[in-house]
Amino acid sequence: RAVESQSEGQCAPVDSLWRRYSEFELLRNYLSVTYPHIVVPPLPEKRADFVWHKLSADNMDPDFVERRRIGLENFLLRVASHPVLCEDKIFYSFLTQEGGWKEMVSETGFQLKADSRLKALNATFRVKNPDKRFTELKHYSDELQSVISHLLRVRARVADRLYGVYKVHGNYGRVFSEWSAIEKEMGDGLQSAGHHMDVYAASIDDILEEEEHYADQLKEYLFYAEALRAVCRKHELMQYDLEMAAQDLTSKKQQCEELATGTVRTFSLKGMTSKLFGQETTEQREAKIKVLEEQIQEGEEQLKSKNLEGRDFVKSAWADIERFKEQKNHDLKEALISYAVMQISMCKKGIQVWTNAKECFSKM
């Protein structure tokens, strides 16, 4: 596969080196696993999506490649400006170390830490007491993803239609020119007006090219929604783990108690079988109790540390989420402003062209 992008090191001994898209993906996966409480910046899209018909959906298209390059650069800037992520050694090596970076990453063994696919994607496990803020945030990220997708899809259709409107005006240019040939006094005015119609028709290409940058800004936050959801799911997972561990501990304690007192409070298959096939000997029972007591102690320690982990996670994750929210509000506002500025520029160009045409008509 051809080399797709170039990155630049920051304060590094080696100024620049070559990285493939797949290496960017590896970096991001590593960061996501290593810092599950951080809303990790997303990568730009791998394949062209939300295209309107004139833009090619071809990944080798130079415009697409250029926009992806900008996206990757943006990704690195995001990571570099993150208070936690920027300190990461693997990130630093990504920017500075040419060879052997991949090996370095696999040596961290981060893949082992990654939550099993099944657990991570399974949204149907039931968490009894999740932190409400995370539940709301997950809901928000789902909605955000949905609304931005919708927006990008409609925007692409709008761009398509606008393109059509502008281009048809080019036909005026041709017919005015033909018509001017048979006119005497009107001829010059018609001819020059026709030229302005051609200018108008041509102007849409640059206008829509600029708008793609706005679309890219929206796309970044579309993908950020996914990163946000990942943090929420991590919390859910941890909470689920915690609840399962607590549940397990409770049941073990119960078993222990039952064995010690000899009462069977709850139905259990073991209980049934022991009734049917005879009870255990005292030695067997006491051995079991001992094992259970050990397990209970282990379990209580684990529960304690899991609780601690959970609370730490919530705290640090929420801090980053607050940071992310501010960044998002700031960035999206900037994006909207630049979009409005683009629209204003488009309107001014339109006024200019039609004013010029009007003057030509007035000279008819």
Partner 1 sequence: SAGAPKPLPSSGPKSLREMPHPLATSSSEEMGPALTPSPDLLLPRSIADKDLSLPNGTPVDTSSPASSSSLLNRLQLDDDLDGETRDLFVTVDDPKKHVCTMETYITYRVTTKTTRAEFDLPEYSVRRRYQDFDWLRNKLEESQPTHLIPPLPEKFVVKGVVDRFSEEFVETRRKALDKFLKRITDHPVLSFNEHFNVFLTAKDLNVYKKQGMALLSKVGESVKYVTGGYKLRSRPLEFAAIGEYLDTFSLKLGTIDRIAQRIIKEQLEYLVELREYGPVYSTWGGLEIELSEPLEGVSACIGNCCTALEELGEDMTDDFLPVLREYILYSESMKNVLKKRDQVQAEYEAKLEAVALKKEDRPKVPTDVEKCQDRAECFNADLKADMERWQNNKRQDFRQLLMGMADKNIQYYEKCLTAWESIIPLLQDKPETK
Contacts with partner 1, residue ranges (CB under 8 A): 140, 143-144, 147-148, 150-151, 154-155, 157-158, 160-162, 164-165, 168-169, 171-172, 175, 178-179, 182, 185-186, 189, 193, 329, 332-333, 336-337, 339-341, 343-344, 347-348, 350-351, 354-355, 357-358, 361-362, 364
In the numeric block, which tokens belong to residue 298? 């282990």
Of 261, 259, 282, 281, the residue nearest 270 (C-alpha): 259
Residue closer to partner 1, measured from CB, 83 or 164: 164
| Contact assessment for residue 204 and residue 166, using Cβ atoms and an 8 Å cutoff | yes
- Closest approach of partner 1 to the CB of residue 105, in Å: 37
- Closest approach of partner 1 to the CB of residue 73, in Å: 26
Residue closer to partner 1, measured from CB, 254 or 352: 352
- Closest approach of partner 1 to the CB of residue 224, in Å: 14
- Closest approach of partner 1 to the CB of residue 130, in Å: 21
Collect all residues with Cβ–Cβ distance below 8 Å to 42 and sequence separation of at least 6: 28, 75, 220, 223, 224, 226, 227
- Closest approach of partner 1 to the CB of residue 212, in Å: 16
Secondary structure E strands in the chain? 5-8, 16-19
CA distance 217 to 213: 6
189-198 per-residue burial string, b: 16 or more CB within 10 A, e: under 16: bbbbbbebbb
Helical spans, DSSP H, in 2-61: 21-34
Residue closer to partner 1, measured from CB, 227 or 242: 227
Residue closer to partner 1, measured from CB, 244 or 337: 337
Residue closer to partner 1, measured from CB, 160 or 241: 160
- Closest approach of partner 1 to the CB of residue 170, in Å: 10
Residue closer to partner 1, measured from CB, 96 or 352: 352
- Closest approach of partner 1 to the CB of residue 168, in Å: 5
Contacts 24+ apart (CB under 8 A), 193-196: 193/357, 193/360, 193/361, 196/353, 196/354, 196/356, 196/357, 196/360
CA distance 128 to 139: 17
Residue closer to partner 1, measured from CB, 7 or 145: 145
